[in-house]
Amino acid sequence: MPHISLPEGLTGIRGAMAFRPETARPLNALAEVLLHAPNTLSAGERELIATYVSYLNDCYYCQTCHGYIAAALHDGDEELVRRVKADFQHADISEKLKALLVIAGKVQKGGKQVTADDVDFAHTVGATDLEIHDTVLIAAAFCMYNRYVDGLDTWQPHAEALYRERGKHVAKVGYISASNEYLPPKPAAELIVK
Amino acid sequence: MPHIALPEGLAGITAGFAFRPETAKPMRELAHILLHEANSLTPGERELIATYVSSQNDCYFCQTSHGAAAACHLGSSEIVKQVKTDFESAPVSPKLKALLAIAGKVQQSGKNVTSTDIDRARRLGATEMEIHDTVLIAAAFCMFNRYVDGLGTWQPRDETMYAQMGKHLAEEGYRKRPAEQPEPEYYRTAREAADKELAVETK
């Protein structure tokens, strides 16, 4: 049972976001820019970074949810997602993404763990400064999202089929649009006299 | 030296924000709502939670700038020091101590928060919203701290600068940008390439 009375029937972060729509909006806006907006890293690559960090933080909801979004963005390749979590150095991904996952794994432990060597290597295999920046911020942001989801003890049903369907949907429409399905309308609309 | 070519002369998170204004906007907005907007927890109490978590994460820039903001709200830098060293014996309310205990658990891992921690906070008068905001402030600073240190940002050891920054944050909050930064060249190139790619896909 969640630590506080979150709205029922909404899984994971969605219950917390519906509880506090004011903070939900910037949280979704950040996810939208980092994971869904156009970027030289594909949305699938960025979702793999999010999934890997959530896996390291042992957050069931986030690693499953973003894992299925990542799979949907890789033509349904769920095996790829499993490999990245288990041993990304031997997964079928680019050398650049491997170097970025190393940085993300360091950020998950602590920002200070990232070394100049990690960054040099990422540069060597083709990562741009912006890609390194976004990797650091995706990893940092998932250290927030994961703690938010688990720290409130949100409802995280173990129902893979549900996450698979949801993943396909979010992969397509993105985070702001998906959040509008369960967040109340913007304040102006709430002022309508009943 | 920062790990990537951040704009020079900007300390800590402000360099990351200037490098990538698109992500800065929601991050500033989140900080503004959590720390500065009206709330049943005072801005001073919320800045203490932010400072404590940043100190547990050993982030110099964040614990010093938010510590300065907290000191400005509370009119005492001594309380800030005591909260960082041993909040259970600091001169703050029992409710805030219970919330700091929850924040400390979140800093380690969300899973470390127990129903005993929550019951204690409730018994001492914490509302559901206050518990929610404490968890999210602590979680958000696990992001901000990692962002600041993970990029190897410039974090000068300059007490005067942090005192000024703290005063500014305490008075103005987080939403406003200090000054408009021109779009960095490397960002413009990436953005234009991405836009071009998108235009092709849309056709």
Domains and CATH numbers, chain A: 12-173 (1.20.1290.10)
- B147-193 pLDDT, tens digit per residue, is 999 999 999 999 999 999 999 999 999 995 545 445 445 445 545 65
Say which DSSP state A9 is in. T
Tens digit of pLDDT for each residue in A101-142?
999 999 999 999 999 999 999 999 999 999 999 999 999 999
Q: Chain A closest CA to B175's CA: distance in Å?
A: 12
**Higher-pLDDT residue of B179, B120:** B120
Fill in the DSSP letter of residue A10: -
B91 DSSP 8-state letter: S
| A128–B190 C-beta distance less than 8 A | yes
Task: For residue A150, list chain B residues with Cβ-Cβ distance below 8 A.
Answer: 109-111, 113
Give the domains, in start order, of chain B with CATH numbers.
Answer: 13-202 (1.20.1290.10)
Q: Which of A5, A27, A58 sits opposite B111 (nearest CB)?
A: A58
For residue B130, give the chain A residue with the closest CA.
A4
pLDDT (0 to 100) of residue A185: 80
Phi, psi for A21 (deg, rounded to 5): -60, -25
Q: How far apart are the first and last CA of chain A?
A: 33
Q: With an 8 Å Cβ cutoff, are A34 and B129 in contact? A: no
| Mean of pLDDT values over A43-47 | 98
Spatial distance between the Cα atoms of A33 and B33, rounded to a whole number of angstroms: 19
Q: Is residue A191 pLDDT above 90, yes or no?
A: no
B151 to chain A, minimum CA–CA distance in Å?
7
Q: Which residue of A has its CA nearest to B175?
A: A26
Contacts of B57 (CB under 8 A, 6+ apart): A110, A111, B107, B141, B142, B145, B146, B149
pLDDT, position B187: 43
Confidence tier at B198 by pLDDT (50, 70, 90): low
- Interface with B, mutate which of A133, A138, A149 (most B CBs under 10 A): A133
Looking at the complex, does the CB of residue A58 fall below 8 Å from at least one CB of chain B?
yes
Residue A187's pLDDT band, with cuts at 50, 70 and 90, is low
Write the ipTM. Answer: 0.96
In this complex, the residue of B29, B59, B150 whose CB is nearest that of residue A107 is B150
